[in-house]
Structures are given as structure tokens and as C-alpha cells.
Amino acid sequence: MPKYIPEPFRIKMVEPIHLIDRSERKKALERAGYNLFGLRSDEVYIDLMTDSGTGTMSQEQWAAMMTGDEAYAGARSFYRLKEVMDEIFGFKHFVPVHQGRAAENILTAVMLKPGNKVPSNMHFDTTEGNIRARGGVPVNLIGKIAYDPKVHADFKGDMDVDALRAWIEETGVENIPFGMMTITNNAGGGQPVSMGNLKAVSKVYREYGIPFFIDACRYAENAYFIKLREKGYADKTPLEIAQEIFSLADGATMSAKKDGLVNMGGFLALNDDEVFTRVKAELILREGFPTYGGLSGRDLDALAVGLKEALQVEYLAYRLGQAEYFAGRLIEVGIPIVEPPGAHAVYVDAAALLPHLTREQLPGQALSVAMYLEGGIRGVELGTVAFGQLKDGKWEFPALEVVRMAIPRRVYTQSHFDYVVDVFAEIKKGAGKIKGMKMTYAPELLRHFTAKFEEI
Ligand code: F0G
């Protein structure tokens, strides 16, 4: 049985949670069109929908918020954040933004033309959406093992470097405005990327003169995986590893709602002076003046503190340990998951758990509904509904059919995870009776947020 590393904090403020009756949960599901995004959070008992913006801030962060400088231009808060940004990321320029997709929007607005293609190990859905919204094409070049939930490997987020090189030759450098890497790879099980792979990818991008942007949402967790698993990094601090990672890139987008340990925030950072001039113009139009970018001064201060806390070894050991414990206990009760687990979530292989359903019957969606009905647990489908392509009424299925249970940072304790495992044990007993789903409404982009479903 996996060991649980105790929380490296005590709890000083509590937020009550309640489990409503099964009949009420059934009613809530019907009202929400069987889409868990449509639930009120009061209707959810254990909310594992996302690790984004759902973390608990520390006493140091709350204290820093009191020092927030709300000046429109040149606030002290910005300069405090800048000091931390310079230390960790080391890019020449950065602007705060209200969240990750705002950084993606600005990056694509200033760098991407219709018909352009953008490679990555695997883009997240908002990154894909922003590229497509500007007429571009997102391309995923992750190694094949990423698609096999049962293969154990240290760095299943690694890009296939040979495939990248061949793809660039075929596509033509003139059609590739920038290249990316997502660390850790959220859309593919939250798997980390190795320093070796980041170096190799950076070398290829640089050889072809393609600017390299890192999607840095969970960079601290990725840095800690490198420390634990990659030769030569055991004695380096997560900060030193992070510095090395970002020295390989030309810029980064970040949703600071993850490893920034804040409820709202993000940034776009880059080295190029000319591109930065255009970034600032776009930012002023869409988000705000470059020293606040859509955030309050106090948000910038909370972020400056959070970015440093997320790199503490004690915190990261607990964080990765929590995911490992949760995953290990699910395996114990026979739940198929993507192995090994990443740091921010455990992904249940819905197709394997519900083999009586065809992919058309949306097993991921069906499982997420069953988790809520059985135990008031909210996860998120990251399978056909989120990533499948629907052409003339026919599905093109993504490789993985998973439900993600994301772990909010510093929020739930061991007993909460034990409860979720107990619910899964019940679900497994009655798995054969879980009904498939069909989609009755879907928007064109970012389908899973607002689609509606019916049971078959
Ligand atoms: N990139 C990655 C890898 C992400 O996981 C996310 C968000 C974003 C970009 C966009 O950031 O939400 O601040 O605009 N992921 C959240 C999640 C929503 O639940 O995984 P955002």
C-alpha cells in the first residue's frame, strides 16, 4: 500500500463541504444536461474537476496581498513579481495576464497567420482552440508510448524528436511561426517531459530558427520529476532545474492558476524585443496596461510568493506523494488508470473500466456521470467529448478515453482520497450496468465545456 506523505502545513481556515442526497444529485445531473460543468459547486462533494485556480493560498500569500499596490502603471507589486520572474524564468520581457489562455490568445494574435502550423508534444485544449481560432493548425508530436496507459516510463510527456524533424522538413519552416512543449503534458495524463528531451527539441527548433515557447503551467512539478527521475539532477534544486529548462526556450505562456499557487493569473514571457512591442499593444487592447495585464496589484503579489512556494522541495514531495497515494489505492481496488500517475491528477481509463460501451457511447462521459451520481465526485472527461473530431456525424476518436481527477493544491486530505477510492470500488462492482451517453448539443470550439447529453 502506498504511503501518504503528511501535509507540510496545518489548516487554519476551513470551507465546509456537503454531500447532497442521491435523488438531488440525479436531479442536478438532469438539469445540467449530464455535463458536470453545468453543476453548481454546492452540488459537488469532492471537486476534482480541475487543479486550476482551485488551490489554497498560504498565510504568506494572503499577507503579501495586503501590500498590493494598485497603481495603474508601474506598481510596486509588478516589480516584486518581476524580481521572481527574472530569477525563475529569466526571459527578457514578460506581461501578466488574467490566465493562461489570455497569454495564448496574445501569442497567437501577434505571431500566427492563417494556415500556419504549431507543433508541440501535445497542446492543451485552450491552446488548440486559440491556434484554430486564428486559422492555424495545432500538431501533436508526442512519442507513441504516451498513448499506452499501461506502459511505465519516466517521461511519457517527451516529444518524438525524429518525428519533429521530419515534420518540419515536410511542413516548411516558413509555415511554422513558433513551436511549443507542454510541461507537464496535461492532455496526455499529466506526464512529465525530461530535460534531455527539452534540450533535443530546443536544439531542433533553434537549428531551424523556430521560436520555442514552453507552456509552463506545471513547470515546478515537471522540475521535481526531473530531480527524482533523471540522471544528474538529484542534487539540483527545483529552482535550478527550472532555470535550466527555461534557458532552452525563447518564451513561455503560463496559467499561474496551477504552479503559481494563485486563484487567478498568468503571464506571457519572451526574449524578442520586436515581438514584445506587438505583445504590449495587443495586451493594452485586450487585457490591460503591461504592468498589471488584467490583474490587481494584490494578485501580482500573491503570485510572486506562490511561484516561489511551488518550488519548495517539501511542498513538491507532498504534492507528488498525494497523487501517487491516490493512484496506488485506485490500482489496489482494480481501477485502470494511466500509469505511472503524474503530479496534478489521476486519469482513469474509462474505456477499460466500461468495456461494454463502444467509443460512440462516450464511456468517458458515462463514467464522469457515474462518479457524480455514486459519490458526488466531479472529474472531467478528457476523451472523445473533449478531443474527438466530429466530421459529418462520424467520430474520429482520440487515443485515450479518460476521466481526469485533478488534485487541487493544498486542498484535500488523505481521508478525502480514501473516500473517492471507496466510491470507485462501488462503481466497479456495478460497472456493467452503467449506461452510455449521446451528445445532444455541441458548440464548435472547446466542446466539452457546454455540450449537452442524454443517457442511451
Ligand atoms: N495549458 C495547459 C497545459 C493547461 O492545463 C491549461 C489549463 C491552460 C494552458 C489554460 O490555462 O485555464 O488559465 O486559461 N488547464 C485547466 C485544466 C483549465 O483544468 O487543466 P487557463
By residue count, the chain amounts to 456
Query: Which of these, 266, 263, 309, 299, lies nearest to 408 by C-alpha position?
Result: 263
Nearest CA, atom 5, ligand 1: 186
pLDDT band at 58 (very low <50, low <70, confident <90, very high): very high
Read off the pLDDT band of 241 (50, 70, 90).
Answer: very high
DSSP bridge partners of 377: 46
- To which residue does cell 464522469 refer? 368
Q: Which long-range contacts (CB under 8 A, 24 or more apart) does 4-9 make?
A: 4/321, 4/322, 4/325, 4/414, 5/317, 5/318, 5/321, 5/322, 5/325, 6/318, 7/318, 7/410, 7/413, 8/314, 8/315, 8/317, 8/318, 9/58, 9/410
349: number of Cβ within 10 Å: 23
The answer, yes or no, to whether residue 150 has pLDDT greater than 90, is: no
pLDDT at residue 2 is higher than 80 = no
Pocket test for ligand 1, best of 184, 191, 258, 387 (most atoms within 8 A of CB): 258
Phi, psi for residue 213 in degrees, rounded to 5: -110, 135
The verdict on the CB of residue 215 being under 6 Å from ligand 1 is yes
Element (H, E) at 369: helix 363-375
- What's the mean pLDDT in 184-189? 89
The answer to whether 126 and 101 have CB atoms below 8 angstroms apart is yes
Q: For the whole prediction, is pTM greater than 0.85?
A: yes
DSSP3 helix / strand / coil % (the chain, rounded to 5): 45, 15, 40
- Tell me what pLDDT residue 90 has: 98
pLDDT at 445: 77
pLDDT digits (tens, 9 = 90+) for 114-127: 999 999 999 998 99
Confidence of residue 149 (pLDDT cuts 50, 70, 90): confident
Pocket test for ligand 1, best of 142, 255, 405, 407 (most atoms within 8 A of CB): 255
Cell numbers found for residue 389:
473530431
The Cα 98–Cα 103 span in angstroms is 8
pLDDT at 1: 65
236 vs 148 pLDDT, higher one? 236
How does residue 26 score in pLDDT terms, banded at 50, 70 and 90?
very high
Residue 17: per-residue pLDDT = 98
Strands 117-120 and 137-140: parallel
**Is residue 166 predicted with pLDDT exceeding 70?**
yes
Is the CB of 182 inside a 6 Å radius of any atom of ligand 1? yes
**Per-residue pLDDT, 148:** 86
Q: Is the CB of 127 under 6 A from ligand 1?
A: yes
The arithmetic mean of pLDDT across residues 395-405, rounded, is 92
399 vs 109, which has greater pLDDT? 109
- Check whether 253 has a pLDDT greater than 70: yes
pLDDT of residue 245: 98
**Residue 410 — pLDDT band, cuts 50, 70, 90?**
very high
For the cut 70, the answer to whether the pLDDT of residue 356 exceeds it is yes
Q: Are 435 and 455 spatial neighbours (Cβ–Cβ below 8 Å)?
A: yes
* Whether the predicted pLDDT of 396 surpasses 80: yes
Indicate whether 444 pLDDT > 90.
Answer: no
Q: Which residue has the cell 494511466?
A: 338
Is the pLDDT at 315 greater than 80? The verdict is: yes
Q: 94 C-alpha to center of ligand 1: Å? A: 19
